[in-house]
Amino acid sequence: MTALCKEQLLLAQLQRVKSAYQSFIKLNYEHRAEDCATCPTRGVCCTDAHFVNVQITRLEAVAMRETLERTPRLTDAERRAVYARARLAVERYGLRASGDTFAQTYACPLYDTQAGCLVHRRAKPAPCIQQACYEDWPDLPPANLQTRTEHRVEQLNREAYGAAWAWLPTPLWLTLVDPEADGAELERLARVWSTRRK
End-to-end C-alpha distance for the chain, whole angstroms: 23
Residue 167 lies in a domain: yes
Q: Give a yes or no: residue 197 inside a domain.
A: no
Decide: pTM greater than 0.85: yes
When divided into structural domains, the chain yields a total of 1
Domain that holds residue 145: 3-190
Write the pLDDT tens digit of every residue in 37-77. 788 888 888 989 988 999 999 999 999 999 999 999 899 99
In terms of DSSP H, where are the helices of 71-142?
76-92, 126-130
176 domain residue, yes or no: yes
Taking only the tens place, the pLDDT of each residue in 117-151 is 999 989 999 999 999 888 898 899 999 999 999 99
Contact 109, 178 (CB under 8 A): no
